[in-house]
Amino acid sequence: MDWLNAIQWPAMLVTVIAAWLVASQRKLRRNWGFWLFLLSNLLWIGWGLHDRAYALIFLQLCLAFLNIRGTQKNRTDEGINETSEQRR
């Protein structure tokens, strides 16, 4: 098994850890979660290039955009303390 094929396992692990951290109520943990998600996006893109999984690559680019947005929203705490009335 070559190392590019093995990338899927660390990518999966980083993705799970990132999801756990993003669900935290602590801002620092959420921030780490978004950055780990970005790392996982890069790992998945690397694996997708190796396996010619172009839909996966496109998905990871879209998710990376959302993770960048998440890091910026987390920086300002935008959306964290809003009530449901303010969101409408």
Give percent of the chain above pLDDT 70: 85
Question: Two tokens at 13?
Answer: 């692990």
pTM: 0.81
Q: Which helix (H) or strand (E) holds 59?
A: helix 54-76
Tens of pLDDT, residue by residue over 42-82, are 999 999 998 999 999 999 999 999 999 999 999 886 555 55
Q: What letter would DSSP give residue 14? A: H
